[in-house]
Amino acid sequence: MPQLTIAINLQGKSAVVVGGGKVATRKCLPLIRCKAKVTVIAPSLAACLQRLVRYGMVNYLAKGYSEGDLAGAAVAFAATDRPETNRQVAREAEASGIPVNVTDAPELSSFNSPAVVRRGDLTIAVTTNGKAPALSRKIRKQLATTYGREYAETAALMGKVREKLLTQNDNHRYNKQILSSLANSPIPELFRNGLLREVEHLLLELCGPGFTLNDLGMRKETTT
């Protein structure tokens, strides 16, 4: 079934994960990363989840799932090893209009969690719509080796350049040309090799004066 792939802002929103094992842990980690208020519901927890509770990163209800546990949730995950429990979670979520991911039954899910590579503000998501998670993970690993930390720096730099361009002029075509030139430049490779002086030269060539790393609030010690 064709699906719409979107990114949702869950900062400060309630996210309920039903289940206490390793799969539930994998569901919790990205929720914590995006600053959701995570509640885990399970009779017992795997050691990795116990640590998250101990560090105050998730709330824990030590019990089995019961109807009504999803009240107020912005999103829910059914990640138990009991198919019937997962179906019950899915039914409550559907009745309440809450997006739900059911780990063992993609057909009951209203959304799927893609395999993700994150590099700062750059996010690359891979999904097979729940059909082949192992393939998604394989492709994610391949992407992770191709897109390193230098792409986080490049995305941050381009964001700073874009912000400054928008405050300086309203020539959208000109701004688009500059940003396109930056996107197609060797800046990621320069960052990867620590050639910040060359980054400065490229910024001067493409953007003109006033766009040094220091001007953009990204000053680092330049190297040759």
41-61 pLDDT tens trace: 999 999 999 999 999 999 999
Q: Are 99 and 23 in contact (CB under 8 A)?
A: no
pTM of the model: 0.82
Q: Tell me the mean pLDDT in the region 81-95.
A: 98
For residue 138, give its domain range.
114-147
Q: Name the domain count of the chain.
A: 3
Residue 27 sits in the same domain as residue 78: yes
Structure tokens, 176: 């688009």
User: Which helix (H) or strand (E) element contains residue 30?
Assistant: helix 22-33
Amino acid present at 35: K
- Examine residue 92 and state whether it is found in any structural domain, yes or no: yes
Distance, in Å, from the CA atom of 143 to the CA atom of 107, rounded to the nearest integer, reads 27
pLDDT value, residue 220: 59
Note the pLDDT tens digit of each residue in 128-166: 988 898 999 999 999 999 999 999 999 999 999 999 999
Give 12's contacts (C-beta < 8 A, 6+ positions apart).
35, 36, 37
Q: CA of 118: how far to CAs of 34, 87, 114, 126, 173, in Å?
A: 12, 31, 12, 12, 30
CATH of the domain at 53: 3.40.50.720
Residue 140 sits in the same domain as residue 130: yes
Look at residues 63, 70, 65, 61 and name the one whose alpha carbon lies nearest to residue 92.
Answer: 70
Note the pLDDT tens digit of each residue in 161-184: 999 999 988 788 889 999 999 999
- Confidence band, pLDDT 50/70/90 cuts, at residue 5: confident
Q: CA of 132: how far to CAs of 29, 129, 139, in Å?
A: 21, 8, 11
Q: Are 188 and 151 in contact (CB under 8 A)?
A: yes
Residue 23 sits in the same domain as residue 66: yes
- Confidence band, pLDDT 50/70/90 cuts, at residue 209: very high
Residue 23 sits in the same domain as residue 96: yes
Backbone angles phi, psi at 72, to 5 degrees: 85, 0
Residue 24 sits in the same domain as residue 36: yes
- Examine residue 77 and state whether it is found in any structural domain, yes or no: yes
Residue 127 sits in the same domain as residue 156: no
Distance, in Å, from the CA atom of 27 to the CA atom of 129, rounded to the nearest integer, reads 16
Look at residues 99, 102, 133 and name the one whose alpha carbon lies nearest to residue 115.
Answer: 133
Backbone angles phi, psi at 13, to 5 degrees: -95, 155
The whole-chain average pLDDT of the chain stands at 94
Residue 101 sits in the same domain as residue 34: yes
> Which of 56, 91, 113 is the last residue in one of the domains?
113
Q: Which residue has the higher pLDDT, 3 or 60?
A: 60
